[in-house]
Structure 1
């Protein structure tokens, strides 16, 4: 990285963004209560994918999302991001790879109330690169404009509605220009109108930036509007269906 800390661009050589090959996840290994939560998961996401991950409570959705987001590591199998194997990476390498390639949006916004909306959007870049450059600030302001919040840049998160805060969280997830956007129940706490707005934002950024999008949701209306449905039951993928 140059001394000017220019923002990195992450190029995908092919279409593949993410691939899981025989991935398993177990807890309490070697003890009488050892429990394997995910069993031999095979999954691939390419550029432009717009998919939902569904399944009943306890099916392993959150565990799988944590693995895909490089927040946890498999106990067997391999997970590739941009065709790079990740199992042998240390924590810092995974953190760096996640920060540059994966955007995360959760049901709860996790915004920092002491900082302005603009600073919240900039946070991933500041964590990676320190004091924000003019290019970073311009990008963050552009994203706030894209989500309809340009006029709210100097406000604190607690001055915004729940739907507005979720849009700030989406702008924050996109500021690093990720090739993969992961959303965990992103509309779970929103009313129908706000949920529709958030979903359409995902659709727009998927189309405009050709990033892969994976939405974890219990809401069948969300899954019905996605191009691909991946269903997880008892730690196994039982359906992976493209609609078009």
Structure 2
């Protein structure tokens, strides 16, 4: 299998039930089958309450499915213990959220390095060089020594994207990454996702409520009432 066609993620019959077996049992996801390959830029859309956040939590190994199996880098994950899931998540997945969660006490560069600091303590020279290179990629190299409070909201989100990429993950998950941004800044962030997707070859799954932005992805998955109702190529 070529690198471009390498399967990053596969969901087979995934379901999620809360309060299983109880009177108030709530099935949030039902029989989800999905595949995501290296280099894909894919959006996930659906109305409020459709199960998007639950699905993203499962894919991010932050929760476990009730049914089916989730394969990440071809490894089955449902029966993994917490330590195994944490190790795989830290190695394979980068996260970008609607709220960037930068740490104001640290510089922009230190925020980008934070996942590596948490993983191994003091970053190496190579780590720092990679972080600076990512800041250059997102157009913020000159702001490396600034505090997050000294830059704009759109710039802070770009820092969060650089932070998500510093571990070189094969999968990037973005949960409403433009939800707090004006339309012009949101366009810039989505343009950045496209460039990152092409340059780094990671698979990117973006949850968005904006159909205009979703259409800019190569593929759009629509979720309604916990089921995939559409999985279409946009180009």
**TM-score, scaled to structure 2:** 0.96
Alignment of 1:43-122 (within 5 A): 43-122=34-113
**Pairing 1:180-191 to 2, within 5 Å after superposition:** 180-191=171-182
1:135 to 126, 134, 151: 126
Any stretches of 5+ residues in structure 2 without a counterpart?
A: none
Structure 1 moving runs of 4+ over 4 Å: none
| 1:13 to partner: Cα distance | 10
Equivalent residue in structure 2 for 1:21, among 5, 12, 30? 12
Contact kept in structure 1, 2:4 and 2:37, CA below 8 Å: no
User: Post-superposition shift, 1:243?
Assistant: 2.5
C-alpha distance in 2, partners of 1:13/1:194? 30
3-state SS of 2:110 partner = helix
Instruction: Give yes or no for the alignment of 1:173 onto 2:127.
Output: no
Question: Could you tell me which residue of structure 2 aligns to residue 222 of structure 1?
Answer: 213
- 2: distance between equivalents of 1:130 and 1:75? 36
Cα RMSD after superposing both structures:
1.4
Structure 1's unaligned 5+ residue stretches are 1-11
Residue 197 of structure 2 is aligned to residue 197 of structure 1: no
Compute the displacement of 1:30 (Å): 2.5
In the TM superposition, residue 88 of structure 1 has moved relative to its aligned partner by 1.3
SS class of match (1:128): helix
Name the TM-score, length of structure 1 as normaliser.
0.93
Q: Larger deviation: 88-97 or 47-56?
A: 88-97
Counterparts of 1:242 and 1:221, CA distance in 2: 14
Question: Across the two proteins, how many residue pairs are aligned to each other?
Answer: 234
